[in-house]
Amino acid sequence: MSTSFLVRAMQRRSFFKVAGASVAASTLVLAGCSDDPEPTPVAENVLAFSGFNSTGQPIDDGILNYAYLLTQLEAAFYLKVVAAPPADLQPGELAYLTDLRDHELIHREYLKAILGSKAYDSSAAAPLEFTFTSFTLTTRAGVWAAAQQLEDIGAAAYNGAGKLLTVTANLLALAKIASVESRHAALAHEMVQADSFGATIGADGLDDAKTPTEVFVLIQPFVPIKLSAANLPTT
């Protein structure tokens, strides 16, 4: 699986001048706590990515779909912000946000391309519509605080996902994306507070890394469908 498309696309962008599934399932939950001996089951849509084939061997499809979902989320955020930027942005900041948008679109389309028919939404009638109502996107401070939150999640997600991949080409591709995500996070931190670009480095000197389960908890408020990492590898 070649990463040349990703590299060429990154080289065309100006920001920092660097580059460097399962389908939705339906489960049943019990509703209510009445005296009715037979509670009415309620269908609940769950998006659960599978990281194993039919024989139980690990495959990369689940983690790639996980990464694809993250890029969709971030791309949707920047598309929304750039389409209606806050009036108090400082000179040059809209260009930063536009570059962030374009990077996330490149990541999204790259992962969509390598997944092909295995993309979780390959046969969906419409893409997921993310919600950002918890953010204040009408002010500069609100936009950059939201960007910082999402970019920190994205960087930590990619850092935690690398060890779960089995194909070297996929690991290389996600490592490149992780590098860009870390730069995005650094910029967002700097826009929120000067000289804070390295604030997410832990005591061990390494960037934060999170498991898919931890990441799903953080992004669930933005996703209109329940997320499950139960079928993804953990080691």
For each of the domains in the chain, give its residue range(s) and CATH number, in order of start: 4-20+63-212 (1.20.1260)
Please report the pLDDT score of residue 177 as a whole number. Answer: 95
The residues, any chain, with a CB within 8 Å of residue 14's CB and separated by 6 or more, are 99
Q: Which helix (H) or strand (E) holds 29?
A: strand 24-30
Residue 134 contacts residue 121 (beta carbons within 8 Å): no
Lowest-pLDDT choice from 16-20, 114-118, 148-152, 188-192: 16-20
Residue 82 contacts residue 101 (beta carbons within 8 Å): yes
State both tokens at 106. 């490149």
Under the banding of pLDDT at 50, 70 and 90, the label for residue 49 is confident
Give me the sign of the Cα torsion angle 124, 163, 180, 113. Answer: negative
Q: Which helix (H) or strand (E) holds 146?
A: helix 140-161
Please report the pLDDT score of residue 45 as a whole number. Answer: 81
State both tokens at 235. 């080691």
Residue 185 has pLDDT above 80, yes or no: yes
Mean pLDDT of 130-134: 97
> In this predicted model, what pLDDT tens digit does every residue of 139-148 receive, in sequence order?
999 999 999 9
Q: Distance between CA 187 and CA 168 in Å, rounded?
A: 29
Q: What is the pTM of this model?
A: 0.80
Under the banding of pLDDT at 50, 70 and 90, the label for residue 184 is very high
Give me the torsion for CA of 66, 189, 177, 45, rounded to 10°: 10
Lowest-pLDDT choice from 21-30, 71-80, 103-112, 220-229: 21-30
Mean pLDDT of 209-221: 97
